Amino acid sequence: MPNLRALAAELGEAKVKLDLADRVLHRYDAITEGKIPLAVVYPETTKEVVRVVRFAREAGLPLFVRGAASGLSGGAVPTEEGIVLATNRMTRLEIDPKARLARAQVGVVTAWVSERAKPFGLYYPPDPASFKMSTIGGNLAENAGGPQCFKKGVTGDYVVAAQVVDAEGRVHEIPGRAAHDVLGLLVGSEGTLVVFTEVTLRLEPLPRHTRTLAAFFERVEDAAAAAFEAIRWGAMPAKLEFLDQGCIRAVEAAFGYGLDTGAGAMLLVDTDGDDEALVEEELELVADAFAAHGARIQRARDAAEADRLWQARRAVSPALGRIKPYKLNEDIAVPRSKLVEVVHKIRDLGEAFGFPLVQFGHIGDGNLHPNILYGPGDDVARVHELAHAIARVALEAGGVITGEHGVGLLKRAFLAEAVDEATLEAFRALKRAFDPAGLLNPGKLLP
């Protein structure tokens, strides 16, 4: 038995939790339950991360890195008895306004970066809907996206440099530009190749003006066609979000934001920029394109109304919890031209399997989140069968099995259908090169 008490004595008992309650709490992410870990360790510095990695390596224990555990693919849950390395106390954050950079330890919560940058007229664009809880480390490991990513890009587009600890416990300072794009390789590696410890992030000037509108459509196909039309006409909205009727009704039933429950679908749009007239003009262009597809348009009159509309969007996940206690949040991305066909196929699958299913997503990127809702009496194996069928619909449409939530545990089995055997073997070789002993996040990502 590895001497975890010795590790606790060395790092301090406040940083190494061995009691059952703490360990049980760290077996979950947002929707998945894993094994109870042997210990939960809260390092505060890179040096302490190195110590934990070396300890795990010497003891032959697997290591599961965990940020806020808001992940939706089971990425952070232990698959075997091992150590959970929780980054929540790695929260140092410095803003360099002149260089427009932030240097963050990985336990920094995503929203803090923009909050701290705001007094300097700067912000950090990647905005997963979970941004008030997710950590920068989790965002890097999943290459998280969000509503703004259609125009502004995903997490990886903002990582300038990173410090990582490898599976041997060595520290690497990885620059953004080197002989190889190592950072590009590590971002999105889901805790399976290295432990991120610190990161330098690019900040952007805050746009001076933002305008918001909500549009309600009779049918999903009208909303999808309208979104394509607006883009074809030259609009590049800062945010472009889709909600189906099930989402609209769930949000209204739970919180009553005044959305049109008779609508078959809703689009929520922000335009932004420094030139107010251009921002208005772009919103008008979007409104015209939507009106051409029969939309009823609601322009936000002020920032408070815009905020309320975005609150309604963020309320989707909590609202779904009122319908059924559990949900499996699928995450696919398909070519925009295939979106209508895919939405219909998935709706039909939900009906065929007999589960309530709603769909929303970042429609500009073709990123869709079909959510399967279920309860304690339901057959979980059937829920996963339905998720697999949804992934197949994405692949048949020329899409991918994950848009932003990662493969993790949930989609491991689907990966073999998503990439060819030679590529899969290259992924395995990569894993062996970075982590020969299979210490980091075993049982994830690779089938």
Q: Give contact residues for ligand FAD (rule: CB under 6 A).
A: 29-30, 65-72, 75-76, 87, 106, 128-130, 134-135, 137-139, 141-142, 144-146, 190-191, 195-196, 317, 404-405, 441
CA–CA gap between residue 196 and residue 135 (Å, rounded):
11
Element holding 438 (H helix, E strand): none
The least distance separating ligand FAD from the CB of residue 234, rounded to whole angstroms, comes to: 26
| DSSP 8-state symbol, 93 | E
Residue 13 burial (C-beta neighbours within 10 Å; 0-12, 13-18, 19+): exposed
The least distance separating ligand FAD from the CB of residue 362, rounded to whole angstroms, comes to: 7
Q: Which is nearer to ligand FAD, 134 or 212 (CB)?
A: 134
DSSP letters spanning 163-195: EEE-TTS-EEEEESSSSS-HHHHHTT-TTSS-E
Q: Which is nearer to ligand FAD, 350 or 443 (CB)?
A: 443
Q: Are residues 131 and 146 in contact, defined by beta-carbon separation less than 8 angstroms?
A: yes
| DSSP 8-state symbol, 142 | H
Q: Which residue is nearest to ligand FAD (CB)?
A: 138
The least distance separating ligand FAD from the CB of residue 197, rounded to whole angstroms, comes to: 7
The least distance separating ligand FAD from the CB of residue 232, rounded to whole angstroms, comes to: 25
Q: Which is nearer to ligand FAD, 74 or 273 (CB)?
A: 74
Is the Cα torsion angle 176, 179, 184, 189 positive or negative in sign? negative
| DSSP 8-state symbol, 84 | E
Q: Which is nearer to ligand FAD, 69 or 390 (CB)?
A: 69
What length does the chain have?
447
Q: Which is nearer to ligand FAD, 72 or 386 (CB)?
A: 72
The least distance separating ligand FAD from the CB of residue 207, rounded to whole angstroms, comes to: 20
Q: Which is nearer to ligand FAD, 145 or 273 (CB)?
A: 145
Q: Which is nearer to ligand FAD, 138 or 399 (CB)?
A: 138
Closest CA to 192 of 379, 416, 22, 442: 442
Long-range pairs, 255-261, Cβ under 8 A, ≥24: 255/312, 255/315, 255/319, 257/308, 257/309, 257/311, 257/312, 257/315, 259/214, 259/216, 259/312, 260/216, 260/296
The least distance separating ligand FAD from the CB of residue 280, rounded to whole angstroms, comes to: 27
The one-letter amino acid at 251: V
CA–CA gap between residue 389 and residue 379 (Å, rounded):
16
The least distance separating ligand FAD from the CB of residue 168, rounded to whole angstroms, comes to: 15
CA–CA gap between residue 66 and residue 70 (Å, rounded):
9
The least distance separating ligand FAD from the CB of residue 196, rounded to whole angstroms, comes to: 4
The least distance separating ligand FAD from the CB of residue 279, rounded to whole angstroms, comes to: 23
CA–CA gap between residue 279 and residue 103 (Å, rounded):
31
Q: Which is nearer to ligand FAD, 321 or 354 (CB)?
A: 321
Q: Are residues 41 and 52 in contact, defined by beta-carbon separation less than 8 angstroms?
A: yes
Residue 262 burial (C-beta neighbours within 10 Å; 0-12, 13-18, 19+): exposed
The least distance separating ligand FAD from the CB of residue 141, rounded to whole angstroms, comes to: 3
The one-letter amino acid at 4: L
The one-letter amino acid at 360: F
The least distance separating ligand FAD from the CB of residue 372, rounded to whole angstroms, comes to: 15
Q: Which is nearer to ligand FAD, 69 or 358 (CB)?
A: 69
Q: Which is nearer to ligand FAD, 28 or 120 (CB)?
A: 28
Q: Which is nearer to ligand FAD, 109 or 227 (CB)?
A: 109
| DSSP 8-state symbol, 348 | H
**60 alpha-carbon distance from chain centroid:** 31
**251 Cβ contact list (under 8 Å, min separation 6):** 243, 257, 259, 312, 315, 316, 319
CA–CA gap between residue 263 and residue 221 (Å, rounded):
12
